[in-house]
Structure 1
Amino acid sequence: MPEGHTLHRIAGELQDAYAGRSPSVTSPQGRFADGAALLDGREVERGAAWGKLLFLHFAGERTLYVHLGLIGTFVLSRVTGEADPPVVGQVRLRLLDGDTLADLRGPMACEVLTPPEVEALVARQGPDPLRPESDPDRAWASIHAARRTIGELLMDQTVLAGVGNIYRCEVLFRHRVNPAFPGSRIKRATWQAMWEDLVHLMPWGVRTGRIITLDEVLDDVVAAVDGGQEARGLDVPREFAVYQRTGEPCLRCGARIRTKVVAGRNLFWCGNCQRRS
C-alpha cells in the first residue's frame, strides 16, 4: 500500500496540472459515473492529502476523495494529438484538460464529498508528519494509553497518519526501539525523536518519489539537490537498514535481522540493537 509521501506527491502533481482549470471528468469503467458527472467541468481549486487520504477540491464545495488501498494507482501523463486518448485497463476516473491526462485505477475508495464530510474523515485520522499543523502530542496520547505494541500502533492510521510498513520498520530501527514494547512503555522523549525523524525524512520521499531512511543515501541526495539536480529525477537506491533484509547482518551490530507479521504486514527488526523502550 502506498505510504503517505506518495499521496502528498500525487496531490501536488494534480494541483500543478489542474488548479485553476476545469478538466473533463469521466468514468470510463462506469463505476464512478454519477460522481464524475458532479465534478465534470468544475474548476479545480487545489490538491491535498492527509496521511493516505487524497483530496482534489473543486469549486462549488465538491471534493474528490480517493484512497488507493493496496492496488490503486493514479497516473498523470501528457497526451498529444488525441482529443480522447484510448482507455487502457479498468479506469475508474479520468481527468483530461488539454494535454494533461490523469487516470485512476483500482482504488479502494473514490467518492465525491462535501466539506463537512471531508472534515469528519480527516478528524478520524492521526497527525500526519507531512502536515505542518499536525500535533505529535495527539499521537503520543494514543500511544501512551495503549496496551498494543508500538509496532502495531505505528500502522494504525487513527494514531499516526501516513506511516506504512517501510517507515515503521526503519524508524523503529533508527531509534533502537523494540517493536514488541507496549505503547505505554515508550518514553515521551523517544516518541518525540521518532516524530521529528519522520518529519525530516518523509518530505524527501515526496520530493524524490522514494523512501529514504539511510543517512548516507540521504546525504548523497541532499548534496545532489544542493548542486542543482532535480530531486524527482535522481536515481535513489532502494536500500534500507532492516526492511526486507531477513537473515542478513544488521548494519549496526552484525546480528541477524528478524521478521514477524505484525498488524498484517511483515515487520523487520534487529533483536540485538532494538531493545529500547
Structure 2
Amino acid sequence: MPEGHSVHRIARQFARNFVGKRIGVSSPQGRFVDGAAMLDGHTMTDARTVGKQMFLEFDNGLWLRVHLGLYGAWDFAGDIRVDATVASANGRMGQTGMRGTGDAVLDSAGENSLRSIGAPRLTRLRMAENEKISVEPDGFPPDPIGQVRVRLLGTDVVADLRGPTACEVLDPLQVQAAMDRLGPDPMLDDSPAAEDRFVEVVRKKPTPIGRLLMDQSVVSGIGNVYRAELLFRAGLNPYAPGKSLSDEQARALWRDWAYLLKIGVATGQMMTMDGLSDAAHRRAMKRRADRHWVYKREGLPCRVCGTHITLEEMAARKLYWCPKCQA
C-alpha cells in the first residue's frame, strides 16, 4: 500500500500537470460512469493529499476522492512535467509509482530516486498482482488498458486510475467531513497544535503504539514500512500501550515522522537510515535492502546490536522489530 509520501507526490504530479486545465472524465471500465459525468468537462482547480487519501477539486465545486488502498495505482502518459522539467513521460504511480523516460537514476527495484513521484516500478502497467506488462503507447491519448476505473484526460496529458479502494465524488461539506476524520499530517500542518493533537490521542490510549501508528484517525500517512522504522528509531516496543509513552517519547515520534515524511516526499524513497557515509548512502539509494533498519530484515542481525530481527503479525499486518533494541 502506498504510504503518505507517495500520495503527496502523486498530488504534486496532478498540481503540475492537470490543475488549471479542462479535463475530460470518463470510466472506461464502466463502474464510475455517474461520478465521471458529474466532473466531465470541468477544470481541475486543486489537488490535495491528507495521509493516504487524495482529493481533486473541480470548478463546479465537486471533488474526486481517491484512496488507492492495496492495489490501486495511477498510470500517466503524455507530456508529463516532472519536477522543473517538461518531458515525454509514461509511467505508473501509486502502489508502484512513476517511471519517466528521461535520464532517470533507478535503484535495483526500478525506483527513481531523483525524478520520480511515488514509489516506482520498472513496468508501466500492472494488470494484476502477478501480471506485469511494459507498454509504450502509440499516439495520444493511448487506449485504456485493463480495468480503468477513471480516466482524466487533458489536451496533452492523461491519468488512468485502476484498482482503488475508494473512488467517489464529494461536495465541499463531505470533503471536509472526510478530512476531519483523519489524523494530523505533518506535510500539511507541522504546527505545535498538530503535534499536541497527536500526543494527546496517543497518551490516553491503551492500544499498542504499533497499532496506533497505523490508525489513520490518529496520524495520517504511516504504513507498514514507516511504522517499523519509526519504532526502531525511537527504541520503542511495538506492544507498549500508547498511554505508557512519556510526553517526550510521543513528541519525538511525531517529529521523527515529520522528518522522514519530508525526506520521502523529496526523494520518492523511504530512506530511514541516518548518518551514512557517502558510499553507504549511494548504496542505499540503489538498493532497498540497504535503506532500512528493520523492515523486511527478519532473521537477519540487527544493525545495532546483532540480535535477529523478529517478524510477527499485528492487526493483520507484518511487524518487524528488534527484541533487544526495542525491549
TM-score normalized by the length of structure 2: 0.77
Confirm whether residue 261 of structure 1 aligns to residue 320 of structure 2: no
For residue 167 of structure 2, give the secondary structure of its aligned residue in structure 1: strand
What is residue 163 of structure 2 aligned with on the other side?
A: 106
Of stretches 239-248 and 201-210 in structure 1, the one that deviates more from structure 2 is 201-210
Q: What is the aligned partner in structure 2 of residue 272 from structure 1?
A: 324
Distance 2:310 2:12 in 1: 37
- For residue 51 of structure 1, what is the aligned residue in structure 2? 51
2:235 and 2:207 mapped to 1: Cα distance?
Answer: 18
Separation in structure 1 between the aligned mates of residue 38 and residue 273 of structure 2, nearest angstrom: 45
> Which consecutive unaligned segments of at least 5 residues does structure 2 have?
80-136
1:210 maps to 269
Q: C-alpha separation between the residues in 1 aligned to 2:266 and 2:143?
A: 30
In structure 1, C-alpha distance between the alignment counterparts of 2:170 and 2:51, rounded to whole Å: 17
Q: How far is the alpha carbon of 1:81 from its aligned partner?
A: 7.1
* Structure 1 residue 99 displacement after superposition: 2.1
Amino acid at match of 1:193: A
Describe the SS at the equivalent of 2:31: coil
User: Which residue in 2 is equivalent to 1:165?
Assistant: 224
The aligned residue for residue 72 of structure 1 is 72
The aligned runs of 1:5-20 (5 Å cut-off) are 5-20=5-20
Q: Which residue of 104, 114, 131 corresponds with 2:188?
A: 131
Q: For 2:176 and 2:203, how far apart are their aligned partners in 1?
A: 26
Distance 1:119 1:257 in 2: 41
- For 1:149 and 1:235, the matched residues in 2 are separated by 32
Question: What displacement does 1:128 show?
Answer: 1.0
Equivalents in 2 of 1:46, 1:209: separation in Å? 22
* Residue of structure 1 aligned with 2:292, choices 240, 249, 259: 240
What TM-score, normalized to structure 1?
A: 0.90
Whether the aligned pair in 2 keeps the contact of 1:65 and 1:112 (CA below 8 Å) is yes
AA aligned to 1:237 is R
Task: For residue 83 of structure 1, report the CA deviation from its aligned partner.
Answer: 4.9
Q: Is the Cα–Cα contact under 8 Å of residues 190 and 258 in structure 2 kept in the other structure? A: no
Residue 154 of structure 1 aligns with which residue?
213
Q: Cα RMSD between the aligned structures?
A: 2.0
Quick one: which amino acid aligns to residue 147 of structure 1? P
Superimposed CA distance per residue, residues 161-216 of structure 1 (whole angstroms, 9 cap, x where no aligned partner): 10001000001000101111111101111111111111111122122221110114
Amino-acid identity (%): 44
1:189 aligns with 2:248: yes
How big is the shift at 1:84? Answer: 4.1
Aligned to 2:120: none
